[in-house]
Structure 1
């Protein structure tokens, strides 16, 4: 029915825009006017009676071999058949565990001046010819040829997306590491996982014309200050993982970029090993106005300036509000910009942010 079609379009939108393969009922809330999901939607999704399951367009998220009844994703069939027909590029298509550079969609990111200059310089250094030159110079003076960078700062400031855009610009694939997935409940397994990961990265570098980027995403858990005299098994494991990463950074031949929301608690041993450190601050008023106009092109310059001045939001938060507005516009069949409605969304975003801290993308 129409409702199923709308739900699928919305879930496809979340996948294409966010690479979101873990969609919960709280995400689906956004498409209903009163922010209350009708009970029939929850029932049909929980019992798998929805047409979307019958047509193999969506499936439950699988965690440790168990299907979750409250989290859903598009099936591979839906991604391959329907999204290809719509000519929508899958964001970051993975082949053999590597996110291929040519599948990364171009995204216009807006930075503050200091970040912009550093990222432009980094993009130039990571280009094929320049990077070979930099590595040769480092070797000639007896320095480590590995190139380690850290992007740190507030959630929603575009750290991870910047890595994707750098990869796209320089033609480098990405080997993405989500630290939480590496940690195993079996003591000793996490250390093996980390060592195996660096071994695999080394082999890929040897067999690739261009070294891929090793991305440690949201690496707060392993970049924080190490525990002195750690007694608990979990603390010992984290210290052990940190020591392995520190050793591997010493012998790294390729490119490692870590992203973290930590701004003050970074371990000094890690800080020394990162050649490039780029701090991502919340956007300035001028940058916020540009982000508003990029996200909502029909917004007048005056309204964009008003929103930017009144609300100190990150780029991720502005994008979230713009998305909600776009979905509501589709539902109401009205493309006109209601600035007061956007202001209300900004106030709501700020309240929810204060009540429940968000993790950055």
Structure 2
């Protein structure tokens, strides 16, 4: 999380002058029998119509794609599992004839069905930024931060770009509340420790 997958899609769209058609998986899935399948078919029908009426094909974005492109259930008996398989089979069929641009992002690559993986022309891994990249992100997010302090933060904390952005936002909020926009490096260090602590101690939820 926070390594720039979704932001990369936005930048691709911006640089090529394309719109993004973002898929809301929660709205596609329905508790009613057959509705989810209708919704996914309608989604691709809508995308095709948009492509026909546009000079540039928009980007069809499945964010957090593992929620809908996960491994199919063999011998599915439960209605929910059957519905998931039906939706996935429809998406696979649509991908075979899709004339446009479809991008899917996920943090759980092992959860993707191999049939989907084969149909994507490019698979790009987003690792956490290097120390040098982190230092640049720090200085971009907090321009008043000195090069030395940015390098120190980058070296001490193996944070993603998203995590650094969260900390920078907290700093901005605190600066507004305190009426002081000067850089307090120790306060930022404490925020870094808390950011990582909150990630590691997040409670596990299971059903």
TM bracket (short chain)? over 0.9
| TM-score with structure 1 setting the length | 0.55
Determine the structure 1 residue equivalent to 2:179: 333
Determine the structure 1 residue equivalent to 2:158: 312
Q: Please give the alpha-carbon distance, in whole angstroms, between the structure 1 residues aligned to 2:205 and 2:118.
A: 26
Per mean C-alpha deviation after superposition, the further-off stretch among 236-245 and 178-187 is 178-187
The answer to whether the 8 A contact 2:4-2:162 is kept is: yes
Per mean C-alpha deviation after superposition, the further-off stretch among 185-194 and 226-235 is 226-235
**How much has 1:184 moved relative to structure 2?**
0.9
SS in structure 1 opposite 2:125?
strand
Matched, 1:299 2:145: yes
Matched, 1:227 2:73: yes
Q: Please give the alpha-carbon distance, in whole angstroms, between the structure 2 residues aligned to 1:307 and 1:191.
A: 48
**How much has 1:357 moved relative to structure 2?**
7.3
**How much has 1:265 moved relative to structure 2?**
2.6
Determine the structure 1 residue equivalent to 2:189: 343
CA offsets 1:280-334 (integer angstroms, 9 cap, x no match): 1111111111111100001111111111111111111100000000110011111
SS in structure 2 opposite 1:340?
helix
Q: Please give the alpha-carbon distance, in whole angstroms, between the structure 1 residues aligned to 2:101 and 2:204.
A: 29
**How much has 1:358 moved relative to structure 2?**
11
**How much has 1:262 moved relative to structure 2?**
1.4
SS in structure 1 opposite 2:68?
helix
User: Which structure has more helix as a fraction of its residues?
Assistant: 2
| TM-score with structure 2 setting the length | 0.95
Q: Please give the alpha-carbon distance, in whole angstroms, between the structure 2 residues aligned to 1:233 and 1:249.
A: 24
CA offsets 1:66-85 (integer angstroms, 9 cap, x no match): xxxxxxxxxxxxxxxxxxxx
CA offsets 1:132-182 (integer angstroms, 9 cap, x no match): xxxxxxxxxxxxxxxxxxxxxxx1111111111110100011111021221
Q: Please give the alpha-carbon distance, in whole angstroms, between the structure 2 residues aligned to 1:164 and 1:310.
A: 30
Q: Flag structure 1 segments of 5+ consecutive residues without an equivalent.
A: 1-154
User: Does the C-alpha gap of structure 1 residues 292 and 358 become closer, same or farther in structure 2, counting only changes over 3 Å?
Assistant: farther
User: Which structure has more strand as a fraction of its residues?
Assistant: 1
User: Does the C-alpha gap of structure 1 residues 311 and 340 become closer, same or farther in structure 2, counting only changes over 3 Å?
Assistant: same
Q: Flag structure 2 segments of 5+ consecutive residues without an equivalent.
A: none
User: Does the C-alpha gap of structure 1 residues 358 and 248 become closer, same or farther in structure 2, counting only changes over 3 Å?
Assistant: farther
The answer to whether the 8 A contact 2:71-2:111 is kept is: yes
Q: Please give the alpha-carbon distance, in whole angstroms, between the structure 1 residues aligned to 2:141 and 2:79.
A: 46
**How much has 1:264 moved relative to structure 2?**
2.2
Determine the structure 1 residue equivalent to 2:123: 277
User: Does the C-alpha gap of structure 1 residues 204 and 159 become closer, same or farther in structure 2, counting only changes over 3 Å?
Assistant: same
The answer to whether the 8 A contact 2:139-2:150 is kept is: yes
**How much has 1:355 moved relative to structure 2?**
1.5
Determine the structure 1 residue equivalent to 2:19: 173
The answer to whether the 8 A contact 2:66-2:111 is kept is: no
Q: Please give the alpha-carbon distance, in whole angstroms, between the structure 1 residues aligned to 2:67 and 2:155.
A: 34
User: Does the C-alpha gap of structure 1 residues 325 and 217 become closer, same or farther in structure 2, counting only changes over 3 Å?
Assistant: same
User: Does the C-alpha gap of structure 1 residues 316 and 359 become closer, same or farther in structure 2, counting only changes over 3 Å?
Assistant: farther
User: Does the C-alpha gap of structure 1 residues 202 and 358 become closer, same or farther in structure 2, counting only changes over 3 Å?
Assistant: farther
How many residue pairs get aligned? The number is 207
SS in structure 2 opposite 1:223?
coil
Q: Please give the alpha-carbon distance, in whole angstroms, between the structure 2 residues aligned to 1:232 and 1:319.
A: 42
SS in structure 1 opposite 2:39?
helix
**How much has 1:263 moved relative to structure 2?**
2.6
Q: Please give the alpha-carbon distance, in whole angstroms, between the structure 2 residues aligned to 1:220 and 1:198.
A: 18
Q: Please give the alpha-carbon distance, in whole angstroms, between the structure 2 residues aligned to 1:360 and 1:285.
A: 35
The answer to whether the 8 A contact 1:295-1:319 is kept is: yes
Q: Please give the alpha-carbon distance, in whole angstroms, between the structure 1 residues aligned to 2:203 and 2:97.
A: 37
The answer to whether the 8 A contact 1:174-1:213 is kept is: yes
SS in structure 2 opposite 1:318?
helix
